[in-house]
Amino acid sequence: MSSRYNSILTEIYNEALPLKQTGTVANYIPELAKIDPDKFGIHLRTLDGDDFFIGDSDEKFSIQSISKVFALALAVSLIGEKVFKRVGVEPSGSSFNSLVQLEYEKGIPRNPLINAGAMVVCDILIDKLKHPKKEILNFVRKLSGNQSVSFNEHVAASEKEFGFRNAALANLVKSFGNIHHTVDEVLDIYFHICSLEMSCRDLATAFLLFANHGKLPNTHEEILTKSQTKRLSAVMQTCGFYDEAGEFSFTVGLPGKSGVGGGIVALHPHKYAVATWSPRLNAKGNSVMGMKALELLTTKLGSSIF
């Protein structure tokens, strides 16, 4: 199997390369626009602990919205099902920072993976954690097995400076009473989790938790129950790519999550987690080469969850 994975990753890398110039780097967060758009890496880690990687897979980048999965996992581990009283589980069919649904759905975000939903999750974490930033960071470090994972303060500050739409979302949710702490406190946590920097290796390692039904693969420590893990993977499947969640399911067929830093992570329950990074995005905010690479992966392996 190992030589098969190795040769498939090489094939995928080369077949995705013609898309190298397609798409644009996110520039609505000025600090993100500074990234080299030609970076491209893939890392696949199996539940047996085997690693397969190619390209810039060990370089850290801004994980952005991928962090919403970590925040959700931590919140669910702390308060369980109660999270879903304050945030829904339906795909939004809208962009990740859309304001419109929030108004007529009375401040209950459609799901925890759109910006407004992640803000409600941050509000829960502020409530339950004594030192939210530190404890969120420790959680992600534990999952990734990498103590050097950290926030990028420049990115967090850049998001804050230009985060007019996010501020609007937080204020709108707060006006309906679904944010309990101050908008400033919630946005501070939200912008910091988005600024987390991790490599494809770190992300693939961390997402093995979901492939392993909520237990850390190395220590077998249970972080989430089987049922909670199912719920998280289901939310990733239906909501992880915003208004392109259908397309990702259709072409790749794995639960996963993207971020505007160009990262995508996906997992195959019982088998592996895989992360890709290429900063050029399509119009929906998802990495062009990452989407292609993962489509090629499940096609060549002849296996998806369906």
Q: Which of 60, 68, 174, 271 is catalytic?
A: 68
54-83 binders of ligand DON (CB under 6 A): 64-65
Please provide the DSSP assignment of 169-213 as one string.
HHHHHHHTT---S-HHHHHHHHHHHHT-EE-HHHHHHHHHHHHTT
Question: Active-site residue 120, yes or no?
Answer: no
Residues 252, 258, 264, 267: what is their CA dihedral angle, to the nearest 10 degrees?
-60
Q: Which is nearer to ligand DON, 217 or 259 (CB)?
A: 259
134 a catalytic residue:
no
Binding string, 142-181, against ligand DON, x = CB under 6 A? Answer: -----------------x------x---------------
DSSP at 74: H
Q: Please, which residues have CB within 8 angstroms of residue 11's CB and are 6 or more apart in sequence?
A: 296, 300
Looking at residues 86 to 105 of the shown chain, list those that interact with ligand DON (rule: CB under 6 A): 96-97
Residue 87 phi, psi dihedral angles, 5° rounding:
-150, 140
Q: Residue 194 interacts with ligand DON (CB under 6 A)?
A: yes
Active site residue 242: yes
State yes or no: is 5 an active-site residue: no
For ligand DON, the binding residue among 285, 288, 292, 293 (CB under 6 A) is 285
245 or 260: CB nearest ligand DON: 260
For the chain, give the number of residues.
306
Contact 51, 274 (CB under 8 A): no
249 is catalytic: no
**Torsion on CA atoms 75, 144, 141, 29, rounded to nearest 10:** -80
> Which residues, numbered 103-122, are part of the site for ligand DON (CB under 6 A)?
115
- Distance, in Å, from the CA atom of 10 to the CA atom of 189, rounded to the nearest integer, reads 38
At its nearest, how many Å lie between ligand DON and the CB of residue 113? Answer: 9
Binding site for ligand DON (CB under 6 A): 64-65, 96-97, 115, 159, 166, 194, 258-260, 285
Q: Which residues are catalytic?
A: 65, 68, 190, 242, 260
